[in-house]
Structure 1
Amino acid sequence: MLYVDDDDILTSAGAAAGMDLCLHLIRRDHGSGIANQVARLCVVPPWRDGGQAQYIARPVPEASGSNTAGAREWALRQLHEPIQLSRMAVQAGMSVRTFSRRFLAETGQTPGQWLTAQRLALARGLLEFSDLPVDRVAEQAGFGSASSLRQHLSAAIGVSPAAYRRTFQGLDHGPIGRRPVDAGN
C-alpha cells in the first residue's frame, strides 16, 4: 500500500507515497477536480494504484558462507540459456536433493523461483536501459519469447513489458524540460 487512511491515523510508505497521501486528503476534502489540479501543478500523477512496490530492487543474497553461491554465480552468467536444476547441483558439487534443500535455506526461494526472479531482474534492466525490442529482451533474459516474458512479468508485477518500459523510460526521450518545437512557428 502506498498509504493507509484509518480515520484519524494516516501513514504513507515513503516520501513519494507522501505525495499520494496528500493528494488523497485533498481528494477526500475537496474532490477529485481540485486534487487533479494540484497533481498537475506538482507534475505527479493524480492517482497511483500501489503497484509501485513492484519496482523495489531485491538484491541477490550475499555469497559469503554459502554452499550454493558458486552455482548462483554460474547461473547468472547463463541466464540467456536454459538452465537445468541438475547442472546447478553439479556446479555446487551436490546431489539435486541436497542442492535444492540448501538453496532454499540460503535464498528463501527454490532454484526455479530464483532463476525466474533473476531473469526478470535482467529483463527489467534491459527494458529500462535499452531500446531492444521486447522479443530480444526475452531472448537475452532466457524467457525464449516475448509471450513468455509478458506472462512472467505480468504474474510477478502486474504490468506488460511495454508498460514497464514506458514507466521507466517515459514517453518522450527528448531533453528534460525542453518544449517541443512547433513546426508552425
Structure 2
Amino acid sequence: MIKMFTTQLSGLFNRIADKEEFSIEDGARLLAQASIGEGSIFIKGFAEMECVTLEAVYGREPLQGAKALDTVDDVSEADRVLLISRFSNDEEAVSLAKQLVDNGVPFAAISGTVSTEGDSLAELADIHIDTKLIKGMLPGEELGERVGFPSSMAALYIYFLIKFSFEEMLEEY
C-alpha cells in the first residue's frame, strides 16, 4: 500500500504542476497585488484545509503579509483572499466567495472541481486552482470503494507553488 500511495501521490503532484501551472502563477500574481499595493493577503481554509492557513501564517516560512481571515468585514477592495476547500461546491466556501464577489474583493481559490448545478468556487473565483482530487486514490477493501484522500497534502503542495511564484514576483518588483 505504501508504494502504491506514494506512486499515486507523486502522479497527483505532477498533474497539478503540469495542468495548473498557469493558474498557480495567476494566483500568485493576484496575491502579489496586495503586497505591492496597500492591501493584505487573507487566507481561509475550510475543514482540513485550515492547514494551509496555519502554514501561511504560522509556518517556519510564512507568506509575506498573510493573515487568517476571520470575517469578510475585515477585508477591503485593496486586499486579496485565498480560499481553500476540499471541493468546489463546499457550501460554506461558496457562501464566503459570494460575499467577496459582492464586496468587489478579488480572490483565488483552491479546491477539487466537482460538477454542480449550483454555484461553485471554480466559477466565482477570479483564479481557481484545481487539486485534481475528488475521490480516494487507492482501491479499498469493498468493491468500488476508494481510500486515501490527501486533499490537505494537495492543497499544501499548491500553496507552496503559489508561495514560490509569489516570492519570485516580489523579488522582480
Which category of TM-score, normalised to the shorter sequence, fits these structures? under 0.3
* TM-score normalised by the chain length of structure 1: 0.23
Bigger relative contact order (CA 8 A; separation at least 6): 2
Greater helix share, structure number? 1
Greater strand share, structure number? 2
* TM-score normalised by the chain length of structure 2: 0.25
Larger radius of gyration: 1
